[in-house]
Structure 1
Amino acid sequence: MPGFATRIAEFAEREGINYDLLFSHYWLSGEVACLLRPGFAGGWAHIAHTLGLVKNQTLATGARPEPALRIRVEGEIAQQADLLIASTADESMELVSAYGADPKRVFVVPPGVDLSTFQPIDRTEARRKIGYGSGRLLVFVGRLERLKGVEIAIRALALLRDRSHDDVRLLILGEDSKDADESEKDRLKAVATELRVRDRVDFLGSVVHHELPFFYAAANVCVMPSYSESFGLVGLEAQACARPVVGSDVTGLRSVVRDEVSGYLVGGHDPAAYAERIGRLLDNPELAEQMGLRGRLLAQRFSWTRTADRLEDLFDGVIERAQVRVHASARQE
């Protein structure tokens, strides 16, 4: 990171660029901003996306804790950044209570969803597009790591199959990760084989963004059994496509999914509880459709236009205050 920060500083000096604002995402780019900040007169805004201390409080069995370096860097960011953007009110409180951030510098700005891309599509057409025919589909979208709870979804599928839902298939979309020095995809395949549902679980890897709506629309239910989420963007995208969500009752998902309105929020990590909620929706297509339509209405509150307008207002304030500091410093000299 120091080398990357040095190259940015050298580029700015060589090109004669004076940046008005540093905007860092995640703790790694936040570390770069920490290093750049002393040499820049402009303001600094940061969005964490996830917080290491919060992730460590809700680790899945066998998952590797976030390193002490990350926790330390996140603490420095919380103390130094002019503006800290949280995705939810819960995350803003965590920044204050766990990292000692000044509440006056923390603002909640939920991410948005592209409602023109993620929108309802006829299920038959969506399935034709992705190469699936009849049979009910569950979809999981996200990076394959223990934090995301994909094993819970597989175990729930096995329970559903035992309950005569023999046509149900689970589509898993997302890149593999090396959690605890092993391939999470290989581990999940072994779990599916052990539970005798390997023939009903499709690992499809990463999917380009503009094709995601077809997978959401093709599914009967979107499943999000995460141990922790800073914001439930996948759930929001699924709802924008008018599909119900069965997810974990964690802060990030509570902000976008309404329990028993647009889906179900499940407390704890019991696959049987997930199987029961998923089964309700599979056995009652009318209920699933109603929840999906309500989810679409909820998603319309999270447009990118609204998010961008709010960020622009906050950035303008940071830049203005930075300029005041520069002028005050110049007068003192």
Structure 2
Amino acid sequence: MIHYMTADGIASPWNANEISRVQLAGIPFTLNALRKPDNFSHEAAWAHKMNDETVSIYPLHPLRLVFSLIQAPIYFHGRYFTALFNALFGRRESLHVRITALVHFFVAAYWAVPLRNNKPDHIHSQWAHSGGTVAMYGAWLLDVTFSFTGHAIDLFRHRVALQDKIDRAAFIICISDFHRNFYIDRGADPDKLVIVYCGLDLSLFKPVEKSRSDDVFTILSAGRLVEKKGFVQLIRACGLLRDRGLEFNCLIGGSGPQEAELRRLVGELKLENLVTLTGKALKQERIPEFMSGG
């Protein structure tokens, strides 16, 4: 039995897509989330069922928390105290991170106490920050192996006890050669690094054939509306195309915190008749249909 630890269950398409493949392979697992998502990126029945079956850690039940903190030193013996020592004195990126990791140690004890009589064989964390800390300490207390998949924000902006996670992981999933080299630079054993690229299900993501009725081309882009996705640059490029006299339309699918800024930019460049933002996140099943419109 594998216990997956995530920050927000299947809110991330990455989590949902990967775990659905684990499910199809017949591998037993339990999906854990620090918090269950309010929304997720799939509309299929399997996704709703998976979300319903996700075990959510938060909100913590006060009485259970008190009892777990009393019981954990008794149940886990020396492992509890070595893990606590690590939380207090291990290598940390900042004082804030040390406090956060200590809190997550106690959350891990809260999570692990009920699992002691039905221990998982392995614990894997998607993303290496908050959920990764709970997973690492949970595996430490339960005396089972631990692994994680790192991405970007968890390895850089919100890094938490990363060196300890690298050192304690039985293996690390690397989503690129860059990630593999990143871990090697931090002392990871190359034999523990497994590259799993961010692939696509080609049975789902394939072009939908359709006839073209005019010479006006459509530029399509989809993603979360955040700075790193480059939508500002796309809209400015649309302004350049308009100034060069090209006929086109641009449709941007997605939602996110940058939406208001992008709409203002469209107005400033007077592109309202050429650039449209849907303002809605695309469900995974709808992406092929959306992308076939270009």
Structural mapping, 1:110-259, within 5 Å: 110-124=197-211, 135-166=216-247, 168-177=248-257, 184-204=258-278, 205-219=280-294
Say if 1:12 and 1:18, in contact at 8 Å, map to a contact too. Answer: yes
- What's the CA shift string for 1:17-70, capped at 9, x where partnerless? 11111111012321211221221222212111225566xxxxxxxxxxx2xxx2
Q: Which amino acid aligns with 2:271?
A: V
More helix by share: 1
Residue 174 of structure 1 aligns with an amino acid whose one-letter code is G
Distance between the aligned counterparts of 2:165 and 2:245, measured in 1?
52
Partner of 2:159, secondary structure, is helix
CA 1:5–1:174: 2 relative to 1, 3 Å: farther
Q: CA deviation at 1:214?
A: 0.9
Structure 2 match to 1:42: 144
Q: Secondary structure at the match of 1:72?
A: coil
Query: Matched residue of 2:160: which SS?
Result: helix
Aligned-residue identity in percent: 23
**Equivalent in the alignment of 1:33:** 135
Indicate if the aligned counterparts of 1:144 and 1:174 stay in contact, CA closer than 8 A.
yes
The CA deviation string for residues 263-307 of structure 1, in whole angstroms up to 9 with x for no partner, is: xxxxxxxxxxxxxxxxxxxxxxxxxxxxxxxxxxxxxxxxxxxxx
For residues 83-106 of structure 1, give each alpha carbon's deviation from its aligned partner in whole angstroms, at most 9, with x where no partner exists.
Answer: 111111122101222x43232321
CA distance in 2, matches of 1:169, 1:9: 53
Quickly say closer, same or farther: Cα 1:124–1:109, change in 2 above 3 A: same
The aligned counterpart of 2:113 is 10
- The DSSP-based 3-state class of the residue aligned with 2:197 is coil
* Residue number among 104, 125, 142 corresponding to 1:24 in the alignment: 125
Give the aligned partner of residue 193 of structure 2: 106
Shift of 1:197: 1.1
* Alpha-carbon contact 2:250-2:275 (below 8 Å) kept: yes
Q: Give the distance between the partners of 2:147 and 2:131, measured in 1 at CA.
A: 11
What SS class does the counterpart of residue 161 from structure 2 fall into? Answer: helix
CA distance in 1, matches of 2:174, 2:105: 26
Matches of 1:174 and 1:4 in 2, distance apart? 34
Q: Whole-Å Cα distance in 1 between the matches of residues 155 and 143 of structure 2?
A: 30
Aligned in 2, Cα 1:80/1:175: closer, same or farther, shift over 3 Å?
farther
Residue 107 of structure 1: SS of its match in structure 2? strand
Partner of 1:198, secondary structure, is coil
Partners of 1:85 and 1:188 in 2: how far apart? 35
**Alpha-carbon distance change, 207 to 3 in structure 1, aligned in 2, over 3 angstroms:** farther
1:94 maps to a residue whose letter is F
- SS of residue paired to 2:286: helix
CA distance in 2, matches of 1:135, 1:2: 57
Q: Which runs of 5+ in 2 are unaligned?
A: 1-103
Looking at structure 2, the residues matched to 117 and 4 of structure 1 have their Cα atoms a distance apart, in angstroms, of: 38
Offset of 1:151 from its aligned partner?
0.3
Contact persistence 1:124–1:218 (CA under 8 A): no
Distance 1:37 1:157, change over 3 A: same
The 1:152–1:35 alpha-carbon spacing in structure 2 relative to 1, beyond 3 Å, is: same
8 Å CA contact 1:139–1:170 kept in 2: the answer is: yes
| Structure 1 segments unaligned to the other structure (5+ residues) | 55-65, 128-132, 178-183, 220-333
User: AA paired with 1:41?
Assistant: D
Contact 1:135–1:169, Cα closer than 8 Å, also in 2: yes
Shift of the 186–102 alpha-carbon distance from structure 1 to 2, 3 Å rule, reads: same
Q: What is the one-letter code of the residue matched to 1:212?
A: I
Distance in 1 (CA, whole Å) between partners of 2:235 and 2:293 is 19
Structure 1 Cα separation of the partners of residues 206 and 155 of structure 2: 35
Structure 2 CA distance for aligned equivalents of residues 90 and 144 of structure 1: 25
Out of 78, 83, 98, the position equivalent to 2:166 is 78
Change (3 A) 1:144 1:2: farther
